[in-house]
Amino acid sequence: MISLMEFLSLAVAALLGWFGIRLWIPEAGGASRWAPLLQVALGIALGIGVTSCLYFLLLIAGAARLLIVLGVDLLALLAAGAAWWFRRKSTGAAHDSSPAFTWNWALAIAAAAMAAMFVTAFVNFSEFNPQGGWDAFAIWNLRAQFLLHRETWRYAVTALPTGTHMEYPLLLSSAIARGWLYGGAAATAVPIAIALLLSLSLAALVTSTLSIVRGAAAGLLAGLILLANQIVFSAAPDQYADLPLAFFGLCAIAILTLDRSPRYLALGGLFAAFAAWTKNEGMLLLIAVALALLATAWRTAGTRAAIRQTGFFLFGAVPVLCLVLCFKLFLAPPDPLVGGMGAGLLRKIGDPARWVHIVAGFGKGLPAVALLLLALAAGLLRPRPAAQRTPVLFLPLLAFAIILAGDFAVFLLTPDDVEWLLSTALDRLYLQLWPLLVFATFLLLRRPEDFAIASAPAPSRSKERSPKRSRNQVN
């Protein structure tokens, strides 16, 4: 059971993030009834990311005492809350402009039932194994215990013990240590609560964003299929960093899907940088999103606009990216994976049997049932008409392809045994990519509402004009 102070640590982070979202992009989601859920999901991501960075900076400065950390958190919360109070404005009554799908109620029930099954399974697993999976207590929670004390934090970035990946970034471990500092001891409730909070926020993000840009039916169906993956069910209570990585990465993608104005671009860059501060693979995600943004913006608006948009994106990433780079250059031990890739480079690249073996290994580990559900939805809804498929909509799919290619290159060039890596890392890789694949797929499919419109009688002509859309809106 989580204590009051441990709950306070998460509540302060979430509320601080919500105020930040409401201040930076108050119009996020517009007047849609799904906008509050979107803002809550983004606020949780922003709050967890910011408070993790603040805690780590206070820790290395020797100021990570409870009174100081609590004081900094509450001061930031009061400042953000006061700013929001004086700048708040009404967005009007919540509504959805798209026609309602007849079976939305059934999709809502199915999505709620799937979410309930997920929470039940999560709670049951956590009661049986509160320490989480191997990587949780051997890497993330172990390092969090070192980060809990000013005298021991350097043990979280030493080269020993081997196999515990002390070169990994520290967003998740810092967030857990901060919760433990609030609670006064290292208890299993904090990492369990963070894992559950981020898992549900990921589902809320997918559902709300797609409901806003593609209609409620598409959002509910996407949320249902997202959770209908055995890898998600098993990995979430494992308390690994892969699900937070996927969450922060999808926050960046969702922000860029909603709008391409400078504020949205900078916030997307910040979320991508949080992914880089979560795990090594997050740097690949940041690069992939930046390249996808550059390519789609160039195809849509030309070279100058592409450079400008990518510049705003990277500008938003700079503060946290500087923290990541300083950590890698001055604190973390060398990464054995990167250091060993150069050995036998040409031999690995030129070995066709190695290519075939990796491709076959990727195929064996696929979540077949979840992919079948996604393929079934794609077959029933069918792709959007060519006139509606603008290059901007392909950003998530292009980012997915770049990340997958980068991951394949890691398997190809790794100094580790390929068979061992395939057997231990594929589930985590698919967990990182699954939310992005679901989001990208539903962004490019027709809406269920479109079929209802096609079968409905033609409406009489009306003098009413359609509502204006922002020139930066990409959906």
Cα 165 to its chain centre, rounded Å, is 22
Q: What is the pLDDT along the chain (475 residues), one digit of tens a residue?
A: 799 999 999 999 999 999 999 999 999 988 899 999 999 999 999 999 999 999 999 999 999 999 999 999 999 999 999 999 998 865 555 665 556 677 889 999 999 999 999 999 999 999 999 999 999 988 999 999 999 998 999 999 887 666 667 889 999 999 999 999 999 989 999 999 999 999 999 999 999 999 999 999 999 999 999 999 999 999 999 999 999 999 999 999 999 999 999 999 999 999 999 999 999 999 999 999 999 999 999 999 999 999 999 999 999 999 999 999 999 999 988 876 665 666 678 888 999 999 999 999 998 888 999 999 999 999 999 999 988 888 889 999 999 999 999 999 999 998 888 898 888 889 999 999 999 999 999 999 999 888 765 555 555 554 444 444 554 555 5
Report d(CA 45, CA 53) in Å as an integer. 12
Q: In this structure, are residues 166 and 159 in contact, taking their beta carbons and an 8 Å threshold?
A: yes
What's the confidence (pLDDT) of residue 166? 85
Predicted local confidence at residue 459, as pLDDT? 52
Q: Closest Cα partner for 197 from 222, 180, 174, 172?
A: 172
Long-range contacts of 323-330, Cβ-Cβ distance < 8 Å, separation of 24 or more:
323/53, 323/56, 323/57, 323/277, 324/169, 324/273, 324/276, 324/277, 324/283, 327/157, 327/169, 327/170, 328/167
pLDDT of residue 464: 42
Element (H or E) spanning 275, and its range? Answer: helix 262-278
Q: Could you give the 3-state DSSP secondary structure of residue 383?
A: strand
d(CA 119, CA 126): 10
Give the Cβ contact number of residue 276 at 10 Å.
27
pLDDT at 416: 80
**In this structure, what token pair is assigned to residue 41?**
């999901």
Amino acid at 158: T
3-state SS of 46-71?
A: HHHHHHHHHHHHHHHCCCCCHHHHHH
What's the first-to-final CA gap in the chain, in angstroms?
Answer: 42
Strand, helix or coil at 445?
Answer: strand
Q: How far apart are CA 337 and CA 348, in angstroms?
A: 15
Looking at residue 39, its pLDDT comes to 97
Q: 352 preceded by cis ω (within 30°)?
A: no
Query: What is the DSSP annotation of 145-162?
Result: HHHTSTTTGGGGGSS-ST
Residue 407: what pLDDT? 94
Contact (CB, 8 A) for 396 and 403: no
Q: What are phi and psi of 473, to 5 degrees?
A: -70, 135
pLDDT score, position 30: 84
| 346 phi and psi angles, rounded to 5 deg | -65, -35
> What is residue 462's predicted lDDT score, i.e. its pLDDT?
47
Give the pair of three-digit tokens for residue 19: 């105020």
Q: Give the whole-angstrom CA distance, residue 60 versus residue 150.
A: 8
Spatial distance between the Cα atoms of 12 and 9, rounded to a whole number of angstroms: 5
Residue 457: the pLDDT is 55
pLDDT at 51: 98
Q: What is d(CA 447, CA 444) in angstroms, rounded to the nearest whole number?
A: 9
Q: Largest alpha-carbon pair distance within the chain? A: 74
Report the distance separating Cα 103 and Cα 63, nearest Å.
55
